[in-house]
Amino acid sequence: MEKWIQGDERIDQLIGHELKIIQSPSVFSFSLDAVLLGDFAQVPKHNRAKIIDLCAGNGVVGLLLSKKTTSSIMGIELQSRLANMAERSIQMNYLEDQLSVVEGNINDTLKWIKKDSIDVVTCNPPYFANEGTSIKNPNSHLAIARHELHTNLDELMKVTSGLLKMNGKAYFVHRPDRLLEILDAMKRHRLAPKKIRFVYPKENKEANTLLIEAIKDGKDNGFRILPPLIVYGRDNEYLPEVKEMLYGKNS
């Protein structure tokens, strides 16, 4: 296994999915949000769809989706170190025939991917607006992953809409305090929100994450708010639904 890793990297198991992934404490380690997105996103089981994962990080969402479909999945990641980690994880799991990762800025995506050609887009984007007063992480890798230094919500929705076929679906994980911005940006770019699910750290706490599905050129009716997802019980252990996402059905 040592041949796959560099520097302070380690190999973690995605236990419930029989996958391995390369992580680094100083560069990038995926969070529960990525697992939530991989579970929430609905992708065709067949091999004829085209799926794009924007802001791919170390490739965890693509890896998770590979267990739900036989279609091709392409990750797009700005940071070369993260794209390289994702590439090595794909190779380590022998998924090169299905998964790929491209290093690039998502705002340039439509220069090399045909417009209106993608069936599903997923994205775990930077959550924090790039405001002069916001405190950035001194680690540049983490700052880019968490703050809108190289893209923003409007650009993200514009690119997503440009990629998707009519009636193609998009899935995002984000923060509830930006929901109104998300909905405004979706409307500007022909994305109709269809489902939303709020995620709560514990019962009686405020939601700290949201999952949202949109359809390109979808109708405005039929919007659904799904049952809440609560992560931890009173004993600070994962509740059954989240535990299954992380460790599989027999956990």
3-state helix/strand/coil string of 11-68: EEEEHHHCEEEEEECCCECCCHHHHHHHHHCCCCCCCCCEEEEECCCCCHHHHHHCCC
Phi (first) and psi of residue 107, to 5 degrees: -70, -15
**What residue ranges define each of the domains in the chain, with the CATH number in brackets?**
2-247 (3.40.50.150)
The neighbour count for residue 235, using CB atoms within 10 Å, is 7
Phi (first) and psi of residue 103, to 5 degrees: -85, 120
What mean pLDDT comes out for the span 25-33? Answer: 83
pLDDT score, position 188: 96
pLDDT-derived band at 147, boundaries 50, 70, 90: very low
d(CA 36, CA 245): 8
| pLDDT (tens digit per residue) in 101-143 | 999 999 899 999 999 999 999 999 977 655 554 444 554 544 4
d(CA 55, CA 83): 10
pLDDT score, position 143: 44
pTM: 0.90
Higher model confidence: residue 98 or residue 30? 98
Give the least confident one: 46-50, 77-81, 109-113, 143-147.
Answer: 143-147
d(CA 250, CA 230): 20
Mean residue pLDDT of the chain comes to 89
Indicate if the pLDDT at residue 55 is higher than 60. yes
pLDDT score, position 151: 63
pLDDT-derived band at 148, boundaries 50, 70, 90: very low
What mean pLDDT comes out for the span 218-242? Answer: 95
pLDDT score, position 132: 53
Higher model confidence: residue 45 or residue 3? 45
Q: 123 with 53: CB under 8 angstroms?
A: yes
Indicate if the pLDDT at residue 191 is higher than 80. yes
pLDDT-derived band at 248, boundaries 50, 70, 90: confident
Task: Output DSSP code: residue 149.
Answer: S
